[in-house]
């Protein structure tokens, strides 16, 4: 696999994709043209497969948790500071 893909031909596809204005009658054709190119161009096919694999791993990766601060702000907003009434000790000052 070449180190730097996206040669002139493929770049022109990027530009076409970028310049095209959304319009239902053209979208179907454009989607088809892009799909055809991706299938026919070995470099794009390889890059697409590699991107799919990367995104799959990204999807499967554990995400950083909702921070305690953000969770507390959400709970305070929903339940009011009275959520402290559920506590066994008072909320710390903020």
Partner 1 sequence: MKPWDIDLAIYEDELALLEGLRRRDRLACTCLVKRFAPRLYQLAVRLMGDPDEAEGVLQESVIQACAHVDAFQGRSELGTWLHRIVTNTALMHLRRRRPVTVDLEEQLQRRSPLPQALVDRTTEPSRAVIGAELREMVDRAIAALPDTLRTAFVLREVEGLSTKEAAAELGISESALKVRVHRARLMLREALAPYVHGEGRRREADA
State the residues that interact with partner 1 by CB under 8 A. Answer: 1, 3-6, 13-15, 17-18, 20, 22, 24, 27-28, 30-31, 34-35, 38, 46-51, 53-55, 57-61, 63, 65-66, 68, 70-75, 77-79, 82-89, 91
Specify the residue, 9 or 50, whose C-beta has the smaller distance to partner 1.
50
Specify the residue, 17 or 54, whose C-beta has the smaller distance to Zn ion.
17
Over the window 40 to 79, marking each residue x when it contacts Zn ion by CB under 5 A and - when it does not, the resulting string is -x--x-----------------------------------
What SS3 class is residue 2?
Answer: coil
Contact segment (CB under 5 A) with Zn ion among 8-16, 27-35, 60-68, 82-90 equals: 8-16
Contact 75, 83 (CB under 8 A): yes
Report DSSP letters for 39-94, one per residue: HH-HHHHHHHHHHHHHHHHHHHSPPPPPPHHHHHHHHHHHH-GGGGGGSSSPPPP-
Residue written as tokens 């959304």? Answer: 22
């Amino acid at each position: 696999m070449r180190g730097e893909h996206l040669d002139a031909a493929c770049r022109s596809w990027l530009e076409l994709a970028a310049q095209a204005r959304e319009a239902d009658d053209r979208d179907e054709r454009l989607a088809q043209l892009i799909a055809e190119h991706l299938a026919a161009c070995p470099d794009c096919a390889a890059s697409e497969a590699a991107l799919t694999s990367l995104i799959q791993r990204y999807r499967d990766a554990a995400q950083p948790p909702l921070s305690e601060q953000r969770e507390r702000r959400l709970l305070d907003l929903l339940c009011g500071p009275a959520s402290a009434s559920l506590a066994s000790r008072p909320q710390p000052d903020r």
